[in-house]
Amino acid sequence: VELSFNEPFRPQFHFSPPSQWMNDPNGMVYWDGEYHLFYQYYPDSTVWGPMHWGHAISKDLVHWEHLPIALYPDENGWIFSGSAVIDSENTSGLGTKDNPAMVAIFTYHDPIGEKEGRDDFQTQGIAYSTDKGRSWTKYEGNPVLKSPGIKDFRDPKVFWHEDSERWIMSLSVMDKISFYSSPNLLDWKHLSDFNPSWAAYGGVWECPDLFPLTTAEGEEKWILFVSINPGGPQGGSATQYFVGDFDGKTFTSTTQSVKWLDWGADNYAGVTWSNVPESDGRRLFIGWMGNWNYAQVVPTHPWRSAMTIPRSLHLSKEAEDYLVISRPISELKNLRTESLAIEGKTIALDAELLEIELKPNSSQFQLTFTNPGSEELVLKSTGETLILERANSGLVDFEKGFGNEQEANLEGIRINDLTIYLDRSSIEVFVNGGSLVMTSIVFPSAPYDALQLEGFENLNQMHHLKSIWR
């Protein structure tokens, strides 16, 4: 069936699967003019089930072409989250140097082993493609890394580490991250573990990502992303990160405070693209715009879940601390159709897809989106905290905690600017150029058609955006 991508709540400039259940983004890799996005997918239902890798490609990270399912479960199990690399030097022998293999490294979750009460039912497997990701072959020696007897042993994120001339895998092992290395993607050796006592625990650690970022002053640090569920700042799922050093064997965090990539309730399991050309130079990120607390009961049909807008990640050094900045990718500007100045306190919105740029003139401000059904979505700053209120934002009672206030601590932060992306069922707030982010899904029963502003400069900007599906 040809889907309209125009159903109620269907994201218009965010990636969502044509139908059925999606969770984590997987295997993001750039190759030959195409950004690949794979994702945790269950093609038989709108709730989580036996996992596959769905697949889409894009030339600009904004417009997506849906491709057939890339990876199906096999005798080793369901296909959980993982990553993909281009094996340019053909270290694995699965391609050639002229036509390098795209190699996916993922977790096999064996439901039978789980049912039988074994503790080694998660292993790592490999699949490869030599035709730009269009067809996939599972490696015959799978699994390539077996569990030492720990149930949660998953989500391999792999990159080529120049200095040690090895592939490095970050892996979630219950509530620690283990690092492995390999010369060829097939034979893996344990290097070290990371689980400092002061980190955020509270649930399992999932979907790690280890990569370098350089500050504007030219200082390179290694960043480790760890998604945790539950235990996030708004309850349920969230992504914490660490800033430190990596010597090819061990990751050491050089600061000792818990840092959240996103303070909103709905940005989980996000990781970065591999093989982005050096000429581009960006570290590109996408996250799952969901939270395990309620993702399976959100009121959408015939699909469930969407991804965040893609973001580029940057590192800034502030006093003795480091901060990962998330910026909406500049390609999103191509969706602007009309740009308008915002004047006054009550603004009629004649479009439902919006990018809004605002400058507060006070540390206390409030903006309220309203619709004819008297529903409202509120973002306000008390000076100490930034609060997102969706208690009366639309459909909320599919889960008890969905209407809880979302709060971000503003200690030491003066808000100078806000950029807000509003789609049919989400709001993404970028504070001070992306130093603080809040991503949240919402389900207004009619589009918000007015915006009230309190505590802002008189001249702000609003851009109408066009749908990526039409």
Cβ proximity to ligand FRU, 80 vs 211, nearer residue: 80
- For the CB of residue 406, give the shortest distance to ligand FRU in the complex, in Å: 19
Among 155, 262, 376, 423, binds ligand FRU (CB under 6 A): 155
Among 23, 83, 406, 460, binds ligand FRU (CB under 6 A): 23
Judged by CB under 6 A, the number of residues near ligand FRU is: 12
**Binding flag, residue 293, ligand FRU (CB under 6 A):** no
**Binding flag, residue 83, ligand FRU (CB under 6 A):** no
**Binding flag, residue 173, ligand FRU (CB under 6 A):** no
Which 322-361 positions form the footprint of ligand FRU (CB under 6 A)? none
**Binding flag, residue 274, ligand FRU (CB under 6 A):** no
**Binding flag, residue 110, ligand FRU (CB under 6 A):** no
**Binding flag, residue 51, ligand FRU (CB under 6 A):** yes
280 class by beta-carbon count within 10 Å (0-12 exposed, 13-18 middle, 19+ buried): exposed
- For the CB of residue 257, give the shortest distance to ligand FRU in the complex, in Å: 24
Residue (of 327, 318, 301, 319) closest to 419 by Cα position:
327
Instruction: Give the integer Cα–Cα distance in Å for 316 and 325.
Output: 7
Among 12, 16, 20, 40, binds ligand FRU (CB under 6 A): 40
Task: Note if 350 is an active site residue.
Answer: no
Residue (of 339, 342, 314) closest to 459 by Cα position:
342
Cβ proximity to ligand FRU, 51 vs 453, nearer residue: 51
**Binding flag, residue 107, ligand FRU (CB under 6 A):** yes
**Binding flag, residue 178, ligand FRU (CB under 6 A):** no
φ, ψ (nearest 5 deg) of residue 434? 100, 10
8 A C-beta contact, residue 146 and residue 123: yes
| Two tokens, residue 22 | 């999606």
Among 39, 53, 64, 80, binds ligand FRU (CB under 6 A): 80
164 class by beta-carbon count within 10 Å (0-12 exposed, 13-18 middle, 19+ buried): middle
Cβ proximity to ligand FRU, 206 vs 423, nearer residue: 206
Range 335-363 burial, b when 16+ CB lie within 10 A, else e: beeeeeebeeeebebebbbbbbebebeee
- For the CB of residue 28, give the shortest distance to ligand FRU in the complex, in Å: 15
**Binding flag, residue 175, ligand FRU (CB under 6 A):** no
8 A C-beta contact, residue 366 and residue 379: yes
| Two tokens, residue 98 | 């002229």
**Binding flag, residue 52, ligand FRU (CB under 6 A):** no
Beta strands 311-318 and 204-214, pairing class: unpaired
Cβ proximity to ligand FRU, 133 vs 287, nearer residue: 287
Instruction: Give the integer Cα–Cα distance in Å for 178 and 156.
Output: 10
**Binding flag, residue 207, ligand FRU (CB under 6 A):** yes
100 secondary structure, DSSP code:
P
Among 9, 11, 13, 24, binds ligand FRU (CB under 6 A): 24
**Binding flag, residue 81, ligand FRU (CB under 6 A):** yes
**Binding flag, residue 294, ligand FRU (CB under 6 A):** no
Cβ proximity to ligand FRU, 81 vs 300, nearer residue: 81
**Binding flag, residue 209, ligand FRU (CB under 6 A):** no
101 secondary structure, DSSP code:
P
φ, ψ (nearest 5 deg) of residue 8? -55, 135
Cβ proximity to ligand FRU, 236 vs 244, nearer residue: 236
Among 14, 36, 138, 154, binds ligand FRU (CB under 6 A): 154
Maximum separation of any 2 CA atoms in the chain, in Å? 66
Instruction: Give the integer Cα–Cα distance in Å for 307 and 309.
Output: 7
Which of 24, 152, 262, 266 does the annotation list as catalytic?
24
**Binding flag, residue 305, ligand FRU (CB under 6 A):** no
8 A C-beta contact, residue 34 and residue 57: yes
DSSP annotation string for 191-253 = EEEE--TTS--SSEEEEEEEEEEEBTTS-EEEEEEEEEES--TTSS-EEEEEEEEE-SS-EEE
Cβ proximity to ligand FRU, 53 vs 443, nearer residue: 53
Residue numbers at the binding site for ligand FRU (CB under 6 A): 23-24, 40, 51, 80-81, 107, 154-155, 206-207, 269
The residues carrying an active-site annotation are: 24
